[in-house]
Amino acid sequence: MAVCARVLIASGMALGLAAPARGADSGGALPPELIVLPGAEKVSSSPVSGISGGPLSVRYELRTPYPAAAVIDQIRTKLEAAGWKGLPREGLSPLYPSALRTGWRNHVNTTTKPTQSFVWNARWRDAEGDVVEYTLMYLSHTPSPEGQAAKPDNDTLRVDANLRRRFLLRLEELPPSLIVLAGAKDVGAWRSMDEQRLGYDLTAPRPPSEAMKAISERLEKQGWKSIAEPPPPLFPAEKWEQTHKTGWNFGTSGGFGGHLEWRATWRNDAGSTVRYMLTYAGTLPAGIREDPEHGVTSYYVQAELNPSGQGRVVVFPPSGPPTIRSVPPPPNRP
What HEC string does 47-62 produce? ECCCCCCCCEEEEEEE
Helices (H), the chain: 69-81, 99-102, 209-221, 237-241
d(CA 105, CA 123): 15
Question: What residue ranges do the domains of the chain occupy?
Answer: 26-164, 171-327
d(CA 28, CA 318): 42
Per-residue confidence (pLDDT) for residue 333, from 0 to 100 = 33
Of 37, 24, 251, nearest to 134 (Cα)? 37
d(CA 264, CA 229): 8
Per-residue confidence (pLDDT) for residue 24, from 0 to 100 = 36
Per-residue confidence (pLDDT) for residue 92, from 0 to 100 = 62
Of 159, 156, 118, 163, nearest to 7 (Cα)? 159
Burial class (CB in 10 A: 0-12, 13-18, 19+), 68: buried
Contacts of 82 (CB under 8 A, 6+ apart): 32, 33
d(CA 272, CA 268): 6
For CA atoms 268, 180, 163, 83, the dihedral sign is positive
Per-residue confidence (pLDDT) for residue 4, from 0 to 100 = 38
d(CA 81, CA 101): 19
Check residue 6 and report its DSSP letter. P
Strands 56-63 vs 41-47: parallel, antiparallel or unpaired: antiparallel
Main-chain dihedrals φ then ψ at residue 9, nearest 5 degrees: -150, 155
Per-residue confidence (pLDDT) for residue 53, from 0 to 100 = 54
Q: Specify whether the CB–CB gap between 56 and 47 falls below 8 A.
A: yes
Of 128, 122, 276, 148, nearest to 213 (Cα)? 276
Helices (H), 39-190: 69-81, 99-102
pLDDT per position in the chain (334 positions), as tens?
333 333 332 333 333 333 333 333 333 578 999 999 999 999 998 875 444 456 799 999 999 999 999 999 999 999 999 999 999 987 666 667 899 999 999 888 776 678 889 999 999 999 999 999 999 999 988 766 666 788 999 999 999 999 999 889 999 989 999 999 999 999 999 988 789 999 999 999 988 999 999 999 999 999 999 999 878 788 888 888 887 889 999 888 876 667 888 999 999 999 999 999 999 988 776 666 776 667 889 999 999 999 987 655 443 333 333 344 444 444 443 3
Per-residue confidence (pLDDT) for residue 51, from 0 to 100 = 44
Q: pTM of the prediction?
A: 0.73
